[in-house]
Amino acid sequence: MAFELPALPYALDALAPHISQETLEFHYGKHHQTYVTNLNNLTAGTDHEGATLDDVIMAADGGLFNNAAQVWNHTFYWNSMKPGGGGAPSGEVADRVNAAFGSYDGFATKFAEAATTQFGSGWAWLVDAGSGLEIMKTGNADLPMKHGAKALLTIDVWEHAYYIDFRNARPNYIKTYLEHLLNWDFVAANLD
């Protein structure tokens, strides 16, 4: 069965004014769709045809890995945001964040630093690496599962994620993500 572009968990205009419909039309509708199309072309007629996305990611390298991982990364990214999100978590997630980073502000500072200092294209992640919550960053299509960590949250810092709305001001995009978009409910679901 072919890989498909998963539906967004909200309407194309739902993240506005923080992330515009135009950005989602290009980022989701064009970039993400291209990774899905490329992945289907690369797996057709191979041992990977019919495999799960996770299995392809863990077995692949080169172009196959890049396209499979980017399908996974982008799907995870869309779910890492929600309309009316952002700010500090509550409940068990807050307890876990406070235990790992001292406070929400400690988390936000480390997450923003990872996202800002990821040179070139890549991702910043909140992960469970087995001994508590940690922040990690990965370049290009790389992702936590290749390093034995469980992803809980991500921000895409490839320029196409923010350039229409924020131009070259990556720090403003990161701040907006943390204050208005971050989906703590998704983090909670990933911790279960």
Domains of the chain: 21-79 (1.10.287.990), 91-191 (3.55.40.20)
- The DSSP line for 37-77 is HHHHHHHTTSTTTT--HHHHHHH--HHHHHHHHHHHHHHHH
CA distances from 17 to 24, 60, 175, 180, 181 (A): 12, 38, 14, 10, 11
Q: Which pLDDT tens digit goes with each residue over 62-113? A: 999 999 999 999 999 999 999 999 999 999 999 999 999 999 999 999 999 9
Residue 86 near residue 51 (C-beta atoms within 8 A) = no
Q: Which pLDDT tens digit goes with each residue over 34-71? A: 999 999 999 999 999 999 999 999 999 999 999 999 99
Q: Are strands 150-156 and 133-139 parallel, antiparallel or unpaired?
A: unpaired
Residue 3 near residue 71 (C-beta atoms within 8 A) = yes
Dihedral (Cα; 77, 145, 6, 18), 10-degree rounding: 0
For residue 28, pLDDT beyond 90: yes
Residue 45 near residue 72 (C-beta atoms within 8 A) = no
